[in-house]
Amino acid sequence: MEEDIMKPEPKPTQALSIVRPMDERFTHFIFDFDGTITTKDTINVIANIGIAHQHNRGKKFTRNWANLVKSYLDEFDNHTEKYIPKPFERTTLEEEIKFQRSLKDVELRSFNRVSTSGLFVGISKEQWEHEGKAAVLSGKVEIRRGFKELVKEIELRNGVWGIVSVNFSKDFIRGVLEQCLEKRVNIPILANSLDEHGIICGPVLEETGLKTVLATSDTKLSAMLQLLKSWKHDDTAKAVYYGDSPTDLECLFDPAVKGVVVGQHGNTDLLRSLLTHKDPQLVETYTRDFDKNALINFECTLQNS
């Protein structure tokens, strides 16, 4: 499943001050999609597209989707309950990464259940793009403030940008982006896709030479590094990665990029997890939105925690 499904947003735990960062002239920008470019996860929007499509074909899938969600949450909870060390005992980045990677089988079984359920059978690539545009127009998908302006600034600098996501449909993502930016978007989107049989497929990763479903932090890291390589990213270029969830952990901490955690009030699951680590912090900032690219001092968060 996609990140943070049906989990409630936590309340703010502390007040943090906004600071204006120095312009570091980044040239390469990589964004997670759900909860980063969008203000909320889009998994339920995508599920409802499938439910409506099957309803038009005379099939009812509302209960099927509820069962898929329950199966995922039950398996996820069972795994986390049994996993050692417990969250409060995981005090290093290495331990947290091991936990995130341990979820691979849970996530892949969930993706497989979705694929074999028939929920997304018969939906074409073009329809997914259309549905992405419609979701923005209807307000079902909300874009984080300042994203459009940030993309404009990137392109004015002759910079490059792309997406790395565990979302089910890269075509839905493209539709959302095109509606938001009001133009054709020809950027790399390394995400999963749904074929017309409703099967979730991943992009081809050079590391394996195979289509690899993006579901966990290690697969997102492989996708990010492949994207940087395709851009011929070198030591003279500066890259930034924006992400909001535990699946972004390895990307955010990779030395090839500067990581920026995205989330309202800094209270994402990811940020709360990072605050427990005793390792020197490599991720220095987080942002509530992209408006003026205002960043919040992450080190202050650590010192005040």
Q: Is the pLDDT of residue 21 over 50?
A: no
For residue 266, name the pLDDT band (cuts at 50, 70, 90): low
CA distance 23 to 234: 19
Stretch 123-128: mean pLDDT, rounded?
A: 98
Residue 232 has pLDDT above 70, yes or no: yes
- State the pairing for strand pair 285-287/295-297: antiparallel
* pLDDT of 233: 74
CA 142 to chain centre: 15
HSE-up of residue 175 (Cα within 13 Å, Cβ side): 21
pLDDT tens per residue across span 62-115: 999 999 999 999 999 999 999 999 988 888 889 999 999 999 999 999 999 999
Does residue 8 have a pLDDT over 80? no
How far apart CA 80 and CA 76 sit, in angstroms, is 6
Question: Is the pLDDT score of 231 beyond 70?
Answer: yes
Q: For residue 157, what pLDDT is reported?
A: 86
Protein fold of 18-304:
Rossmann fold (3.40.50)
* Average pLDDT, integer, range 31-45: 97
Domain chopping of the chain, boundaries: 18-304
b/e per residue 60-71 (b: at least 16 CB within 10 A)? ebeebbeebbee
**What does the pLDDT read at residue 42?**
98
Query: Does the pLDDT at position 189 exceed 90?
Result: yes
Over residues 282-302, the pLDDT tens digits come to 555 677 888 755 444 443 333
* More reliable by pLDDT, 173 or 293: 173
Q: Which position has the higher pLDDT, 233 or 210?
A: 210
What's the full length of the chain, in residues?
A: 305
Give the residue among 237, 207, 240, 232 at the shortest CA–CA distance from 222.
Answer: 207
Do the beta carbons of residue 26 and residue 258 sit within 8 Å?
Answer: yes
3-12, 21-30, 92-101, 249-258: which has the minimum mean pLDDT?
3-12
pLDDT computed for residue 223 by the predictor? 98
Task: Name the pLDDT band for 305 (thresholds 50, 70, 90).
Answer: very low
- pLDDT of 197 above 90: yes
Contact between 93 and 253 under an 8 Å Cβ cutoff? The reply is yes
266-279 average pLDDT score: 62
Copy the structure tokens of residue 174.
């493209």
Mean pLDDT across 183-196: 98
Q: What is the pLDDT of residue 289?
A: 83
